[in-house]
Amino acid sequence: MKKMMKKISVLLLLLPSFAMASGGGVHLYEAPIDLSDKESLKNGAKLFMNYCLSCHSAKFMRYKRMADDLGMSDQEVLDNLVFTGAKIHDTMDIAMPAEQAAKWFGTVPPDLSVISRARGDDWLYTYLRGFYVDPSRPMGVNNIVFQDVGMPHVLAGLQGNQQLKSDSVDMANGGAKTMESLVVDGSGSMSPAEYDKAVGDLVNFLAYVGEPVKAYRMTLGWYVLGFLLILLIPAYRLKKEYWKDVH
């Protein structure tokens, strides 16, 4: 029994290493997460509804909850962000049958309710910026973070086509190292900076969907710390008063 518990403990300690290895050693760009930026969240919601929700659900989030948190009226959400005929209290689900999705894409597109918590915000941000043209793939694209991805580049109209370039760089010790870089052809409707900002807003929205109460929880935490600091004063004075006659 002790040997089994020891093996389990070792495996638990190695889990973070396995998680890091799943990224393939690719440099992850830092996602601009700011859950207090309502305009960023609104733009991210618009991008999600227009480009993601046709295949990916977010069935743990309700339109009503999103409207309240982002400072939008129910009618504003229904008019501008709901394209499926859903009602304001419905969850963000899709109509695509799972069997058809598996046939078209090779697998059922995952629900994105907690994808930011499962993959990490930086992973998502780099992934959405990391599609490049690959004619050998069924969808015509590949991804630097998720090799042999089965998902099409749904944001290609915004970003344009991106090519993966490999260059040999001479190192200081006399050797050579192959460096890979992504080059956009400029065919998208956005500049690289505008696209990165849009992807940042989308990832910001997915971070919000993954934990809608996070911003409130963090704010509440400061109030709790403040209360404990104030409580420390009478607690310390009471301690001194109580212990002065004990010696």
What is the predicted pLDDT for the residue at 24?
54
158 pLDDT exceeds 60?
yes
Looking at residue 11, its pLDDT comes to: 41
What's the pLDDT at 173?
Answer: 63
pLDDT tens for 161-214 read 999 987 655 555 655 555 678 889 889 999 999 999 999 999 999 999 999 998
Over the stretch 7-66, which tens digit does the pLDDT of each residue have?
444 443 443 333 333 445 788 999 999 999 999 999 999 999 999 998 999 999 999 999
DSSP string, 117-150: HHH-HHHHHHHHH-EEE-TTSTTSEEESSSTT--
C-alpha distance from residue 68 to each of 89, 113, 219 (Å):
11, 18, 18
| Mean local confidence (pLDDT), 136-158 | 93
What is the reported pLDDT for 170? Answer: 57
Residues 93-144 pLDDT 10s: 988 888 887 877 778 899 999 999 999 999 999 999 999 999 999 889 999 9
Q: Which two tokens stand for residue 157?
A: 């109209």
pLDDT at 155: 96
The pTM of the full predicted model, rounded to 2 decimals, is: 0.79
3-state secondary structure labels for all residues of 14-37: HHHHHHHHCCCCCCCCCCCCCCCC
Instruction: State phi, psi for 142 to the nearest 5 degrees.
Output: -135, 180
Q: What is the pLDDT of residue 16?
A: 39
d(C-alpha 113, C-alpha 56), whole Å:
9
The pLDDT, as a whole number, for residue 78 is 95
Q: 176-185, 216-225, 238-247 — which is least confidently predicted?
A: 176-185
